[in-house]
Structure formats: structure tokens, C-alpha cells
Amino acid sequence: MPEASEDRILYMLKSRGDQTAMAIAEKLGMTSVGARKHLANLHDSELVDYADRRENVGRPKRYWRLSQKGHARFPDAHSDLTLELLTSVRRVFGEAGLEKLIDDRETEAEAGYKRAMAGCDDLQARVERLAEIRDREGYMAEWAKEPDGTFLLMENHCPICAAATQCQGLCRSELILFQAVLGPGVKVERIEHILTGARRCSYRISQKTRNAGKD
């Protein structure tokens, strides 16, 4: 079982992607020697892997990343039960029944999210609140504001990934949900998607221009 410092490294690799030992040491407040020792232990436990990259001149830099076993330390929420339920709904009620289930889940989530958005008077406040909600739900969510005024919502983990793999309507429903709670004058587009091989799911959020969609 990894110790607390190694759990912090695993969390950092999950939420920040590939990192050098030096970057890990700086961000977690440990020595580079200590970081490399922890990484060696995690590598021995098959929780992390690495790749050496050549950048400009000099020796290649070693970047550490989670292995498949390492990713499995951040499991889907009740994935086995969820998959069984989705399979049963599809078998008993067909695709139409499954779509009704997804629509009902979306409606309930939208109502809850909108209640949580009370008092958020501008887009930045709504994006920040949405990230807080998603983080509490296990998505390891964070947000950022870009120099051009657009926002990014980044989800470093998907606790329903197994279910979404079998029923991609869940991903479509989440995109519709974000659009609904952020408002009609807002554009939401998914720019990274775990199900297509990305490390995380990310969304670009921006105010629609008045002439958007016109020729």
C-alpha cells in the first residue's frame, strides 16, 4: 500500500498528467531525491510508468505517468452495479427505455444544479460553481479562465467511465446538462474526451456572439 506521499504523487499524476520528478518535488514540497525514491517505489508496484523525452538540447527528460493499474486506483463509482442495471434496462425496455432513463437522470440533475447555482449572477461564477459541484461528485474538476475571456472546465477523472463506455448517451446528456445550467447565451463544447483516448474530459465555455450561427 503506497504511503501518504506516494498517494499525493498518484493524485498529482491523475490530475495534472505526465510530470518530471523535479516538477513533482517542487509542487509537493519534497526533495527531488525523495520524489525519485517514491516514484521508484510506485514503479516497483506497477502503479506508474515513464517515458524519456528529448527537449531541445541536452539529455532527455524522464516524464512519469500513471499506469493502467495506477488509473484503477481511481475507480468508477459502483461500476459493476451500474453496468448491470444499464444492461437490464436495455434488455427489458429496449433502447427507448434506456433513453427515457437518461432523460430522467438529466432532468433531475439539471434541477439540482440550478438550485446550486442560486446567486451566481455571471458566467464566471456559474462555471466556478459547476466545477465545485462536479468535483464533489468525484470528477476531480477544476476550471480556468483563458486570456481571451473563455473558460475551461476540466474533469480529470470520470467516475462513470465504465457506464459511459457502454452507454454513450450519458456523455451526450452531460453536455446538454452543462448547456442548460450555464444559460442559453453560452456555448459549451467538449474539446477533450476520455472515451476517445484523452487523459481527461475538458469543455470550452464562452458567451455566444449575437450573430453566431448567421451566414
Phi, psi of 19 (to 5 degrees): -145, 150
8 Å CB contact between 129 and 49 = no
Please give the domain boundaries of the chain with CATH numbers for all domains.
4-71 (1.10.10.10), 79-207 (3.30.1380.20)
Q: Specify the pLDDT at position 117.
A: 93
Q: Quote helix, strand, coil % in the chain, to nearest 5.
A: 55, 15, 30
CA-CA distance, 46 to 160, in Å (whole number)? 24
> What is the 3-state secondary structure of 50-110?
EEEECCCCCCCEEEEEECHHHHCCCCCCCHHHHHHHHHHHHHHHHHHHHHHHHHHHHHHHH
Q: Considering the entire predicted model, what is its pTM?
A: 0.75
Residues in the chain: 215
Pairing of strands 201-207, 48-53: unpaired
Q: What is the pLDDT of residue 79?
A: 66
CA distance 88 to 33: 52
Cα separation, 127 vs 144, whole angstroms: 9
How far is the CA of 152 from the CAs of 16, 55, 142, 166, in angstroms? 15, 27, 8, 27
- The DSSP H or E segment spanning 8 is helix 4-16
Give 191's strand partners.
none
Cβ atoms < 10 Å from Cβ of 68: 9
The pairing of beta strand 141-145 with beta strand 151-155? antiparallel
CA atoms of 211 and 1, how far apart (whole Å) = 56
With cell 524522464, the residue in question is 62
The pLDDT assigned to 55 comes to 78
As averages over each run of 10 residues, the pLDDT of the chain (215 residues) reads 80 88 92 93 93 82 89 71 81 90 91 94 96 93 96 93 84 93 94 92 89 49
Q: Which helix (H) or strand (E) holds 153?
A: strand 151-155
At residue 58, the pLDDT reads 77
Give the pLDDT score at 74. 81
